[in-house]
Amino acid sequence: MVYAGIFPADQSQHPQLSDAIKKLALNDSAVNVTPDSSPALGQGWRIGFLGLLHLEVFTQRLLQEYKAEAILTAPSVPYKVKVKGSKAVKQYKGTEIIITNPLMLPDANHIEEYYEPFVIGTIITPVEYIGAVTSLCIDRRGTPLPANAVDDKMTMMQYILPLSEVVIDFHDTLKSITSGFASFDYQDYGFHPSPLVRMDILINGMLVDELSTIVHTSRLEYNARRLTEKLKEMIPRQMVQVAIQAVVGGKVFARETLKAYRKDVTAKLYGGDVTRRKKLLKQQAEGKKKMRSVANIRIPRDTFIDVLKR
């Protein structure tokens, strides 16, 4: 399944959205609905869909049939982990557990192996776009299967692809590089071992639960840099310096620093002894240090919405 979080645009609309989801779930037995809450987005639901088309149709029906506006977080996929140690096995009631939320991931010391869902993707494309399609699939960690010619102008290509690389923007990118001529379909290929890690985001040393993700080790540095840069653009400047870090197991993989607003305390000086200037700058630095130790950086809700939604 593909999982996405659905939250009301305003918490006052929660009852209306709840009724709409219940009514849609009544005649759509494939939907898996569980209540969810987010520090940034409030009360909502984590909903499992059979695929991206199912997700699109469900959210369109919410809007068109029930006039229920919802914030949709970026789709994610379930992962499977094999736990070790008698305590961990007892705690999780088995050796294998399905993870639909990165915060549910056991401690790395208790994980023997990670498993990632894969799909067999079938792409039918004009022959002139074979090179571009191959580059896209290889970039998304795809493994090629034998290709077949449909006719003189079209060819059918198959790749084993990680589902996590398919669910966000693979279809849109494929359409873009093939001028809209390629078609894409995929079928389940089951869970397979994969080197995965949980990446956390720290804002001035404080963990932001909502932004934790499970990523493949080969994409770790790219994802870390991309997310920290995006947050630097979105978080408004504060009176103190804000450090944004992407961390895995205590190791920092990317860092961006949001500079503080700074008052020119030496503007009133004109000439005179340099020690006066140094004294004023030192007082300002000490004040900033004191502020940073007690400041609670509040990230606006809109920032979370922009980062989390598709």
Domain ranges of the chain: 2-72, 80-193, 196-261, 263-295
Residues paired with residue 188 on neighbouring β-strands, in sequence order: 119
Q: What is the second-level CATH architecture of the domain 80-193?
A: 2-Layer Sandwich (3.30)
Q: Would you say 41 and 10 are in contact if contact means Cβ atoms under 8 Å apart?
A: no
Side chain identity at residue 149, one-letter code: A
CATH class assigned to 2-72:
alpha beta
Helices (H), the chain: 14-26, 52-66, 86-92, 130-139, 163-166, 170-177, 220-234, 274-294, 301-308
Question: Which residues, other chains included, contact 251 with Cβ-Cβ below 8 Å and sequence gap of 6+?
Answer: none
What is the pTM for the complete model shown?
A: 0.72
The third-level CATH classification (topology) of the domain covering 196-261 is: Alpha-Beta Plaits (3.30.70)
Hey, is 302 helix, strand or coil?
helix
9/70 Cα distance (integer angstroms): 5
Write down the pLDDT at residue 293: 42
**pLDDT digit of tens for each residue in the chain (310 aa)?**
777 888 887 778 888 888 988 888 888 888 888 888 766 677 888 888 877 778 888 888 888 888 877 777 777 788 999 888 888 888 778 788 888 778 788 887 888 889 999 999 999 999 999 999 999 999 989 999 998 888 888 999 999 999 888 887 788 889 999 998 999 888 989 999 999 998 888 888 888 777 788 889 988 998 899 889 888 888 877 777 788 899 998 899 999 988 877 666 666 777 677 787 788 778 877 765 654 443 456 666 556 656 655 4
Residue 128 half-sphere exposure toward CB, CA atoms < 13 A = 6
How far does the chain reach from its first CA to its final CA, in angstroms? 17
